[in-house]
Homo-oligomer: A and B are copies of this chain.
Amino acid sequence: MPRTGRRPGPARTRERILGAARTQFGREGYDKATLREIAAGAGVDPALIPHYFGSKEGVFLAAVEFPVDPALFIPRLLEPGVEGLGERLVTFFLETWDSPAGSSLLALIRSVVSSDLAAELLREFVTREVLGRLAVAIQLDQPQLRASLVATQLVGLAMLRYVIKVEALKSASREELAGWIGPSIQRYLTEPVV
């Protein structure tokens, strides 16, 4: 980094902290990552982090903020109607993971598995922002269970394709995977309860 003799502006500092936090949470998981290391990665004084984000939890929430906004993508996926929703959801999910945003999702999954706190944080977020919206939109019975079943299939897909990197899934196309997995998701969302 060039030394200009000037401090970076606040927006730039914030971004640098978040970038370092993503790296650190991704590499170490939530519990082992420290504000000191994050500050070192960002090249800033550790005291600045609480100033911007309050706490390690605050940095985490900011750093893993979903790369996509559920308030936007859920209505968009639902817009063509319920038919084909399963396949559209899988395709959208894979497009997001295959985009640059995928690296923050990977960091998120690592943190969630290594830390009960991170799991708790994500659960709160997903329940409120994602499942809640789906539940309202679809207006079916057992909306929480249905949305959670959808999540099992999508999270598992991410685990095997992007974390464990199973060859058969890594080399499959998004269309192929949507064709296989879409109908499961569709069934979780719309099949009447037996």
Q: A159-B113, A164-B112 are in contact. Are A169 and B152 (CB under 8 A)?
A: yes
With a cutoff of 8 Å between Cβ atoms, the chain B residues found around residue A114 in the complex are 29, 110, 113-114
Q: Does A62 contact B (CB under 8 A)?
A: no
The answer to whether A194 and B179 have CB atoms under 8 Å apart is yes
Known contacts A156-B156, A164-B122; is A187 also within 8 Å of B179 by CB? Answer: no
Interface size on A, residues (CB 8 A): 43
Q: Is A66 an interface residue when CB atoms closer than 8 A count as contact?
A: no
Main secondary structure of the interface of A (DSSP, over half): helix
Answer yes or no: A144 CB below 8 A from chain B CBs: yes
Binary B-proximity of A88-101 (CB < 8 A = 1, otherwise 0): 00000000000000
Residue numbers of A with Cβ under 8 A of B are: 29, 109-110, 112-114, 119, 122-123, 126-127, 142, 144-145, 147-149, 151-157, 159-161, 163-169, 172, 179-181, 183-184, 187-188, 194
The 3 closest A-B pairs by CB, nearest first: A156-B156, A184-B184, A152-B156
Offer 14 A-B interface pairs, CB within 8 angstroms, sorted by A: A110-B113, A112-B163, A113-B114, A113-B159, A119-B163, A123-B164, A126-B166, A127-B167, A145-B169, A149-B181, A151-B160, A152-B153, A152-B156, A183-B187
